Amino acid sequence: MVVSSAPGKVYLFGEHAVVYGEPAVPCAIERRARVTVEKRDDDRLRVHAEDLSLDGFTVEYSSESEETPDVNVSESLVAAGVGYIDAAVEQARDAADAPEVGFDITVESKIPLGAGLGSSAAVVCAGIDAATRELGVELTSEEIAERAYRAELEVQDGEASRADTFCSATGGAVRVEGDDCRSIDAPDLPFVIGFDGGAGDTGQLVAGVRALREEYDFAADTVASIGDIVRSGEEALADGDLEELGRLMNFNHGLLEALGVSSRSLDNMVWAARDADALGAKLTGAGGGGCIVALDESDGTETALKFTPGCEAAFRAGLDTDGVRVEEV
């Protein structure tokens, strides 16, 4: 039996613009998904999921079956809970040249599902690492990142980005521009996260930005401006200038709001954080609902968010410099 974990992430800058070749800077956070894998004597998969915003479930099925696992939750939630695990298993089987091996798998996650914090990427990275190790194969973090990207690409019908999986596999702060992914130096970032309990429709939000960009030149200029913010943010990261990072986060949120991907709940949390003297605050991820991220070394933002209408949870989650790793059993 092997237990591996991988971190979630926030976008410091650059979501949506990264789709059009602009750079982005996601950062791993100290919220992890843990995946426990034990080899079976047959080719079946038994998956037990906890804390995946699904109230937990257990299913057992053949990996070759075309039927949906028989479980008492909606088909969409089954797809969300099991699809990424299946894709991770297929990548691990391929890496170990063991196409017919079965596993007992337990997933435990402290990362809200579909909230813009990279829950699926963390589960896939940890799953690939645990399953390959259980089969006697050890992959580098770069190999895990590549295989996790392929897994997400399959599940997301070719629309996946390398950003989430590379960040989850390697940890720390990451610069992503197209297929070019690399780790970058960053100071200890005092992240505070607010969660409205919801999730936006990523496909619909991306399509909305695409339509605006095609119709209006100023929308295309807005996307390019987000890329400029990322480049300025890289300089601030290198200098360890948290105040400048905060100002740039505020700019970034304003541009995302102009592109129509924020929401009332996200804006309420952003302004609550700013009123509590956070250095900066913005939505993270696709938007429409989910999470905001703020920079604040004090307790002010976390306290303010807990009393903000529409905020269901607020927590501190510093920069996690560890990527995917093996945990003690």
3-state secondary structure of 40: coil
Q: Are 219 and 212 in contact (CB under 8 A)?
A: yes
Q: For residue 276, which amino acid is it?
A: A
In angstroms, rounded to a whole number, what is the distance separating the alpha carbons of residues 16 and 214?
14
As a dihedral over the C-alpha atoms of residue 126, residue 127, residue 129, residue 135, rounded to 10 degrees, the angle is: 160
Catalytic site residue from 42, 94, 157, 164: 164
Q: 164 catalytic, yes or no?
A: yes
Tokens 């909606």 -> residue? 74
Helix (H), strand (E) at residue 31: strand 25-39
How many Å apart are CA 67 and CA 194, to the nearest integer?
38
Which tokens sit at 273? 């954080």
- The DSSP-derived string for 153-203 is HHHTTT---HHHHHHHHH-SEEEEETTEEEEE------EEEEE-S----HH
d(CA 249, CA 268): 16
Q: Which of the residues are catalytic?
A: 164
